[in-house]
Chain A
Amino acid sequence: MTVTTLEKAADAKAATVEFRGLRREFGPTVALDGLDLTVRPGELLALLGPSGCGKTTALRMLAGFEHPDSGEVLVDGEDVTRVPAHRRDAGMVFQSYSLFPHLSALDNVAFGLRMRKVRTAERRSRAAELLDLVGLADKGERFPHQLSGGQQQRIALARALALRPRVLLLDEPLSALDAKVRLTLREEIRRLQQELGITTLFVTHDQEEALSMADRVAVMRAGRLEQCAAPAELYGRPATAFVAEFVGTMSRIPGRLDSGVAEVLGQRLPVDGDAPAATEIDVLVRPEAVRVRADDAGTARVVATAFLGAATRVTVRLPDATEVKADLPTHEAAGLGSGAAVTVSLPERPVLVAERTQ
């Protein structure tokens, strides 16, 4: 698997993509509600959010299949809102299998070159090269129905890359595949993207996928951008409660806010970031930050344990019926059966707080 002629794509400077105030309504549904987002040259940006939050709509606007009611899409500073899809220079991989059923894998990959009137010999050698790049050099003569789902998506990726597009658009390309294939293909897409240095927008509703692949992750909610940050920052310093709870696991523990200090579980902890105005608050904690200790005098009870390998996830019910998830090293969790009395505490570190919702 080599990148030879394809390196030319990397030579040309990678593109910047910018969404400005994109708005789109479908009848009563507001799919995009003023989306602002910038994708930096050569980065893989994951568009993450719950189903129906407008990720696909945003991607399709960049591809040219959907038109905004207002706002604009810029590629390298140029407004492309009125450019038809076939001149957008964007390669796309779809969520559903989208290979042309009547063409072999090789012809599928060569389709775009054919549309560009590239000569047959050159076309076939380019297509063969791309098939090699996605590790399917020997499957060129197969038809889509003779290929597995993972192989079809690889071919679709090769097809999307064939015209050396300035941006690569991936709309949940792995969601139809089984877990194992998904993992290997995830790594492969990332490797290819880095080798080619192509600006890539990757839509997914799977936070693990987004965090593990992307340079930056943009979390969307109801047609708007909630936060756009590198995975570590998104996980460690979520800007909003929505992001905190959507990315990774988060438990809410009720507490009180008193002059910038959170009182929770009998502890007084400083607040991380801006404190809300309310006094009734929830403290947001990751399972790995919660400490659980067996204690016969404890008022909390273990309600469930789940073995995760090196760690065990313990679900604890506090006296006020709040459930808190905690990850403990498996050897520590050994004695904690269902119903065991425990005490729960937090490390002496600044905590994230959010206004209580109910």
Chain B
Amino acid sequence: MAGSLNNPARVLKPARGANKSVRVRPWRGVVLVCAGLYFLVPLAASVVFTVDVPNQGITFDAYRQIVSADGFGSSLLLSLELAAATIAVVLLLMVPAMVALRLGAPKLRPVVEVICSLPLVVPPIAFVAGIATVLKWGPEHLSRTPLFETFVALQNPDFPVVLVLAYVVMALPFVYRALDAGLRAVDVRTLVEAARSCGANWPQALVRVVLPNLRGALLNASFLTLALVLGEFTVAQLLGFQPFAVWIYSVGGSQAQLSVAVSVLSLLVTWALLLSLAGLGGRSRSASASRG
């Protein structure tokens, strides 16, 4: 009875939705064009400004200058290493934690959500001031202990671990949300139990069943973390390290044309990296599908 009452509604709804989408379509185009203009016009203007030098015609000198400038490769590489390390650490930390949370203590979810969102409300300036204080305090008090070496290693300019730690904290809100959305979309408990009744132990259930079904969420989390690390300036600058964002700022400083070229370039680099990450994700998906 209830089913037969529900049915007409279920049939009607999509039909109504379809009508609406047909009516709305021109608006979609308008919105898309507006948004496109908003993003593309300044970008195009920037590109034109950097390549069209008065009296010289079209020239890519500004870009050539950046790429050949001292530190381009090393700072970009440092940023990529930092991003890779941050993604690895934050995912290794958060994925098992969130799966365990969902299976074992769903009531704790709001608590964890609030904790993971805290970095959003702490301004980076305050955050970095705290870190700097600890870094100064530590060596003074621990100079006679092996921990002194730890503090030195943390701040190794070739690979500043302290930045990775800071970025892990800063990425928590985004990673939490991305993973939470992914976990909501699958029935983790049933999938794990089904895997276990098929003879899989806990790690196998996690790796073979849960992770593949979280692929989208993992990719999203990695995207957001990558974008965050590539664009992060405040913490790295104030702690005195030189990843890509800081280097770009220092190069572009004095010349107007160069600084615009630098921002265009950083945008393109970020896009290229995000696209390649997406490509990687897409490729492994189709590979897993065809394995059949």
Contacts and interface: CB of A to CB of B under 8 A. Distances in A.
B204 interface: yes
Interface in B174-191: 186-187, 190-191
A141 B193 CA distance: 24
B292 interface: yes
B109 interface: no
A342 to B, nearest CB: 28
Contact of B197 (A90, A101, A143): A90
Nearest to A111: B198
B190 A163 contact: no
Contact of B213 (A88, A91, A102, A107): A102
B195 A111 contact: yes
Interface residues of B, number: 23
Contacts of B215: 102
A94 interface: yes
B212 interface: yes
A interface, how many residues as a size bin? 20 to 34
Contacts of B212: 100, 102
A98 B194 contact: yes
A96 interface: yes
Given A111-B195, A115-B199, A116-B199, A101 B213 contact: yes
Nearest to A109: B198
A357 to B, nearest CB: 28
A64 B193 CA distance: 9
A179 to B, nearest CB: 10
A231 interface: no
Q: Which secondary structure characterizes the binding site on chain B?
A: helix
Contacts of A143: 289
Contacts of B191: 98, 100
Given A65-B196, A86-B199, A96 B186 contact: no
B283 to A, nearest CB: 15
Interface in A149-183: 156, 159-160, 162-163, 169
24 contacts: A63-B197, A64-B196, A84-B196, A85-B197, A86-B196, A86-B199, A86-B201, A92-B193, A92-B194, A92-B197, A94-B194, A98-B191, A98-B194, A101-B186, A104-B292, A106-B292, A107-B291, A111-B195, A111-B208, A115-B204, A115-B208, A159-B198, A162-B198, A163-B198
Interface of A: 63-65, 84-88, 90-92, 94, 96, 98-102, 104, 106-107, 111-112, 115-116, 141, 143, 156, 159-160, 162-163, 169
Given A86-B196, A86-B201, A162-B198, 8 more contacts: A85-B193, A86-B198, A107-B292, A111-B208, A115-B199, A143-B289, A159-B194, A163-B198
